[in-house]
Structure 1
Amino acid sequence: MPNKLSDKEINHHLQLLNEKAGDNKWQIKDDKLHKTFTFKSFIRAFGWMTQIAIWAEKLKHHPEWFNVYNKVVIDLTTHDVNGISELDFELASKMEQFCS
Structure 2
Amino acid sequence: MKAFTEKEITEKLKNFPEWEFYDDAIHTEIEFGNFKDCFSAMSRIAFECEALNHHPDWSNTYNVLSISLSTHDAGGVTQKDFDLAQAIENIVEED
Q: Same fold (TM over 0.5)?
A: yes
CA distance in 2, matches of 1:30, 1:59: 23
Asked if 1:8 is matched to 2:7, the reply is yes
What residue in structure 2 maps to residue 27 of structure 1? 20
Percentage of pairs with the same residue: 37
1:44 to 30, 34, 37: 37
Asked if 1:94 is matched to 2:55, the reply is no
Query: Deviation digits for residues 40-72 of structure 1, max 9, x if unmatched?
Result: 011100010011100000110000001111001
Which amino acid letter does the alignment assign opposite residue 28 of structure 2?
Answer: K
| SS state at 2:36 partner | helix
Q: How many angstroms does 1:7 deviate by? A: 1.6
CA distance in 1, matches of 2:39, 2:15: 27
| SS state at 2:29 partner | strand
Q: How much is the aligned-residue C-alpha RMSD, in angstroms?
A: 0.9
| SS state at 1:52 partner | helix
Which amino acid letter does the alignment assign opposite residue 7 of structure 1?
Answer: E
TM-score normalised by L of structure 1 = 0.88
Unaligned runs of 5+ in 2: none
CA distance in 1, matches of 2:10, 2:48: 24
Report the number of matched residues: 93
